[in-house]
């Protein structure tokens, strides 16, 4: 996911003034909160409709992990 620098807020800033984070999110659709100089959280506006833009590879990875988690026992049995 590409992050525009205007969408970034530090954890300290978010803790001090969450209403500002909410206003930014309303204006821009999302706000990324950084903790220890790394993206940690994303605040999104649920009224936008597109919650998260994922590539096909990212979608595939999510589905594959979900299938592996649900059917772990079967996969372990097949691996024998």
Provide the CATH number for the domain around residue 33.
3.40.1620.10
Shared-domain flag, residues 77 and 59:
yes
Q: CA-to-CA distance for 54 and 72, rounded, in angstroms?
A: 25
Shared-domain flag, residues 29 and 41:
yes
Q: CA-to-CA distance for 31 and 5, rounded, in angstroms?
A: 10
Shared-domain flag, residues 9 and 44:
yes
Shared-domain flag, residues 36 and 55:
no
The count of domains in the chain is: 2
Q: pLDDT 10s per residue in the chain (80 long)?
A: 667 777 899 999 999 999 999 999 888 888 999 999 999 998 987 776 566 677 888 888 888 999 999 999 998 999 88
Report if pTM > 0.85: no
Shared-domain flag, residues 37 and 3:
yes
> Any bridge partners for residue 43, and if so which?
31
> Any bridge partners for residue 44, and if so which?
30
Query: Domain range for residue 3?
Result: 1-48
How many residues appear in the chain? 80
């Amino acid at each position: 996911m590409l992050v525009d620098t205007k969408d970034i807020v530090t954890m300290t800033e978010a803790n001090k003034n969450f209403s500002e984070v909410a206003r930014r999110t309303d204006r821009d659709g999302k706000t990324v909160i950084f903790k220890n100089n790394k993206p940690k959280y994303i605040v999104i506006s649920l009224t936008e409709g597109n919650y998260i833009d994922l590539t096909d590879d990212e979608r595939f990875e999510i589905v594959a992990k979900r299938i592996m988690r649900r059917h772990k026992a079967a996969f372990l049995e097949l691996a024998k």
